[in-house]
């Protein structure tokens, strides 16, 4: 968060880049709340999944439940994608949609998943899909199935097959992890005895920029996730922090202290000479590009207290965006360009806010007091953020109305610094 700028970070140890991608312990998932409008959906256990380590239909149900847009129904029946559906019977049970499928192993060891979606309300088949995957990708296939169902029933693209990045801290040990959107299949990209902060996905989802303190100071790295190779792209005198990718992926906005104060600069994602974008007498930090690349939103205390401002992406005059409270930080823009999520200080606590960028209307999405680091799903319909509950740092997701929340927590580590990845290109 913004208040990091005023803290001194300690340093002294070893960092390891783990290109072998070791698996990390999974996060615990707890969903609370009820959506305002929910589509009643029946997902029958898939034939053949009882013999697998992954119950594909259960993953699909969990994904759809987290979205807050579906009421998951259950019934004790046996069927698969080839079952002849009696629409009137299912309608009497209250289902608007029905999903059936099967999982079978092929001769080469891979698995074939067949799934069919019926629209009970209109009495027609909506989708039929076949997925052929390795055993290690059964959960990923389930997320794709959930995306298919989500899109067919809501008209919006699903985001369950996307990935998240986050940092865990256990004692003095930090880890940067990549996981499925539900926190499963987590793998370590980096382990360190020094702090790792501010991870940021490249637009194509192949790289992460982040700040590491392994050199006894904050340095910005760009990390290739497929090879494990990384490069220090900002290691200038003083502090190098808060990297943010341009929508095209070729540039990073970053916060440097070359002039003594924290100011925003633009540099190539491969490093090079930075170009200064802000010239204020205050602290300018936490830059974020608008999805169209025309603007950079950032935090500045130039008016006396931290607030969110907007300026042209090439630099220039800035206009203030937030006015609700005397302290507003951690801006995050929705990929569709309609929303600004941020953290405000209210009654001594830090809470997640959501602003409609067209109307300026703002709503509070949480009742917790330690929120930070909001990040939108690639379909702009959910927000992931960090918060502090019961003395531990955990990740949360929320729907845009704040009604349905999912807690992703670890039994043995604090979980923080979340960022939701883009759709893979």
Average pLDDT over residues 294-311: 97
Residue 46 makes CB contacts below 8 A (sequence gap 6+) with: 56, 57, 80, 100, 101, 102, 103, 113, 115
Query: What are the two backbone dihedrals, phi and then psi, of residue 390, each rounded to the nearest 5 degrees?
Result: 60, 35
CB atoms near residue 165 (< 10 Å): 23
Asked if the model's pLDDT at residue 28 lies above 80, the reply is: no
Q: Give, rounded to a whole angstrom, the gap between the first and last alpha carbons of the chain.
A: 30
Can you tell me the distance from the alpha carbon of 106 to that of 152, in angstroms, rounded to the nearest whole number? 28
DSSP, collapsed to helix, strand or coil, labels residue 152 as helix
Position of tokens 């302290």? 327
Question: Which residues belong to CATH 3.40.50.10070 in the chain?
Answer: 39-154
Query: What are the two backbone dihedrals, phi and then psi, of residue 92, each rounded to the nearest 5 degrees?
Result: -65, -30
Q: Which helix (H) or strand (E) holds 164?
A: strand 163-170
Average pLDDT over residues 300-310: 97
Q: Provide the pairing of β-strand 70-73 with 39-43.
A: parallel
In CATH, which of 3.40.1030.10, 2.40.50.100, 3.40.50.2000, 2.120.10.30 is domain 163-421? 2.120.10.30
- Determine the topology of domain 39-154 in CATH: Rossmann fold (3.40.50)
The structure's pTM equals 0.92
Average pLDDT over residues 183-199: 96
Can you tell me the distance from the alpha carbon of 141 to that of 131, in angstroms, rounded to the nearest whole number? 7
The DSSP bridge partners found for residue 210 are 221
pLDDT digits (tens, 9 = 90+) for 343-387: 999 888 999 999 999 999 999 999 999 999 999 999 999 999 999
- How high is the pLDDT of residue 377? 98
CA distances from 170 to 85, 162, 326, 359 (A): 51, 26, 33, 42
Cβ-count burial 14-53 (b if 16+ within 10 Å, e if not): ebebeeeeeebeebebeeeeebeebbbbbbbbbbbbeeee
H helices of 199-296, in order, are: none
- How high is the pLDDT of residue 29? 64
Can you tell me the distance from the alpha carbon of 161 to that of 182, in angstroms, rounded to the nearest whole number? 9
Ranges assigned E (strand) in 53-159: 70-73, 97-105, 111-119, 124-133
Q: Provide the pairing of β-strand 97-105 with 39-43.
A: parallel
Can you tell me the distance from the alpha carbon of 68 to that of 82, in angstroms, rounded to the nearest whole number? 29
Can you tell me the distance from the alpha carbon of 143 to that of 30, in angstroms, rounded to the nearest whole number? 18
Between 33 and 44, residue with greater pLDDT:
44
- How high is the pLDDT of residue 3? 40
**Per-residue pLDDT band at 17 (split at 50, 70, 90):** very low
Question: Which residues belong to CATH 2.120.10.30 in the chain?
Answer: 163-421
pLDDT digits (tens, 9 = 90+) for 128-165: 999 999 999 999 999 999 999 999 999 999 999 999 99
Can you tell me the distance from the alpha carbon of 407 to that of 394, in angstroms, rounded to the nearest whole number? 7
Question: How big is the chain by its Cα radius of gyration, in Å?
Answer: 23
- How high is the pLDDT of residue 5? 37
Asked if 102 and 20 count as a contact pair (C-beta separation under 8 A), the reply is no
Please name which of 187, 198, 188, 193 lies closest in space to residue 169, comparing C-alpha atoms: 193
């Amino acid at each position: 968060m913004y208040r990091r700028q005023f803290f001194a970070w300690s340093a002294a140890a070893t960092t390891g880049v783990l290109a072998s991608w070791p698996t990390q312990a999974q996060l615990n998932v707890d969903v609370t709340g009820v959506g305002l409008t929910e589509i009643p959906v029946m997902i029958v256990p898939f034939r053949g999944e009882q013999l697998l380590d992954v119950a594909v239909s259960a993953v699909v149900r969990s994904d759809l439940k987290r979205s807050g847009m579906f009421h998951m129904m259950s019934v004790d029946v046996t069927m698969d994608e080839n079952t002849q559906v009696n629409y009137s019977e299912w309608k009497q049970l209250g289902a608007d949609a029905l999903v059936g499928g099967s999982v079978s192993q092929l001769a080469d060891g891979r698995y074939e998943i067949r799934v069919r979606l019926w629209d009970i309300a209109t009495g027609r088949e909506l989708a039929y899909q076949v997925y052929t995957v390795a055993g290690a990708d059964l959960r990923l296939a389930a997320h794709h199935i959930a995306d298919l169902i989500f899109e067919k029933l809501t008209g919006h693209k699903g985001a369950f097959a996307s990935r998240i990045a986050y940092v865990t801290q256990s004692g003095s040990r930090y880890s940067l992890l990549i996981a499925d959107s539900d926190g499963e299949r987590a793998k370590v990209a980096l382990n360190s005895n020094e702090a790792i902060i501010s991870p940021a996905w490249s637009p194509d989802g192949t790289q992460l920029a982040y700040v590491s303190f392994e050199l006894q100071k904050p340095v910005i790295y760009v990390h290739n996730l497929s090879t494990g190779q990384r490069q220090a792209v900002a290691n200038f005198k003083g502090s190098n922090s808060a990297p943010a990718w341009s929508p095209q992926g070729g540039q990073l906005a970053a916060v440097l202290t070359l002039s003594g104060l924290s100011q925003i600069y633009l540099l190539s994602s491969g490093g090079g000479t930075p170009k200064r974008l802000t010239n204020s007498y205050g602290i300018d930090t936490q830059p974020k590009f608008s999805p169209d690349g025309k603007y950079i939103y950032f935090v500045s205390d130039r008016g006396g207290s931290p607030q969110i401002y907007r300026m042209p992406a090439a630099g220039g005059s800035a206009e203030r965006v937030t006015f609700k409270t005397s302290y507003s930080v951690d801006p995050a823009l929705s990929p569709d360009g309609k929303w600004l999520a941020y953290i405000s200080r209210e009654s001594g606590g830090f809470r997640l806010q959501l602003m409609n960028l067209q109307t300026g209307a703002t709503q509070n999405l949480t009742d917790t007091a330690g929120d930070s680091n909001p990040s939108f799903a690639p379909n702009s319909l959910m927000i992931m953020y960090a918060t502090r509950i019961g003395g531990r740092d955990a990740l949360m997701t929320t729907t845009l109305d704040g009604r349905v929340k999912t807690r992703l927590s670890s039994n043995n580590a604090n979980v923080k610094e979340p960022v939701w990845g883009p759709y893979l290109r």
